[in-house]
Amino acid sequence: MTADLPIIRLRPKSRPQAIRHGFPWVYADELVTDRRTRALQPGSFALLEDATRQPLALVTVNPESRIIARVMDPDPQARIDRDWIAARIARALAMRQRLFDRPFYRLIHAEADGLPGTIIDRFGDAAVIQPNAAWAEHMADEIADALREVTGVATVILNGQGRARSLEGLEERMEVLSGSVSAPVEVPMNGAIYLADLAQGQKTGLFYDQRPNHAFAQRLAQGARVLDVFSHVGGFGLAALAAGAEHATCVDGSAPALELAQGGARAMGVAARLTTRQGDAFAQMEALAAEGAEFDLVICDPPAFAPSKQALEAGLRAYERVARLAAPLVAPGGYLGLCSCSHAADLTAFRNASARGIGRGGRRMQLIHTGQAGPDHPTLPQLAETGYLKALFFRLDG
């Protein structure tokens, strides 16, 4: 394949050792971007060389993105085709099959699983692909073919939505590539049953990354009154009910998501113990405080308030506000869980913002547990963005 590929080259002051040591991205200001390079089609492949013309890797190029090149394979002789994709999926599948006894998990976690910018979540006999890089968009059919061959899934859905695609210059689209979806899929996890809308839901329909944090919250939930804020389809709330919570209240801005939470509760036989409140989460927490509501366990799992470095300061203020409003709702001696999926806010910054908010909410705290995404969301140590999820659990007094 190498003989057919264009060549792109790092600038003299760039650090090729980062690529050699596993960093998978090349930023636009690190590359010699002459007219020929800028003319490359987004999603095309090229051979990346260092400034001395030594080959570094086979990459995919997108001149429209700040991440102008992503490493596909450190072997410059590699051929990126259906077989190459199938080998990566098979490697990822082998680990998931060792970790999980049922086929419900994130199967491909982008760069960390060797398929740059590509997410695949599996829901039993169905799977959802998020092609968030131009190469994956162009090779979506090959990815779907390889996915069906390796896993045996019948239904494959392409979910082309989200901020990551806009950064790549990709348009939004949704398409059923094979099979059909007529109703939300039941997903068993931690003893709960969730309903995932694969065709219309947020992201791929369900957030698998919180699985271990749901499990930790279950240890605090037995016999408890639970509040799940930014609940989506009932993530922490349904997990708490499965563990024997007395009652759970789910708060979310999306009425369809709350309907799915109620459907999950019905499937579990615990609908009488679930209440939902639809509306702005901040306003709902203020209203609950005005009502004198009190819970033994409160968990807040908001969207990414700091999706980029430019949004970091405002995002940390939002996380602090979440903590400030949530803390007064926790009964003395109760527990507060706070989560962030913002890769731009590292653990220290998020922990500090959360602690400030709890303090300004008039509460004293002990940090008892720090969680992250589950093992089906592996991290690439060289790429901080793959380790985005943080979960902090506090015991509150006062």
Query: 250, 300, 339, 341: which one is catalytic?
Result: 341
Find, among 366, 168, 194, 387, the residue nearest to 274 by Cα.
194
CA–CA dist 64, 322 (Å, integer): 36
* 61 touches 40 (CB < 8 A): yes
CA–CA dist 96, 340 (Å, integer): 24
CA–CA dist 318, 301 (Å, integer): 12
- Told to judge if 250 belongs to the known catalytic residues of this protein, a careful annotator would answer no
* 398 touches 360 (CB < 8 A): no
CA–CA dist 245, 252 (Å, integer): 19
* 317 touches 327 (CB < 8 A): no
Q: Tell me phi and psi for residue 80, to 5 degrees.
A: -85, 100
Instruction: List C-alpha distances in Å: 102 to 93, 105, 326, 378.
Output: 12, 8, 35, 18
Residue with tokens 């264009």, as numbered in its chain? 6
Catalytic residue positions? 341
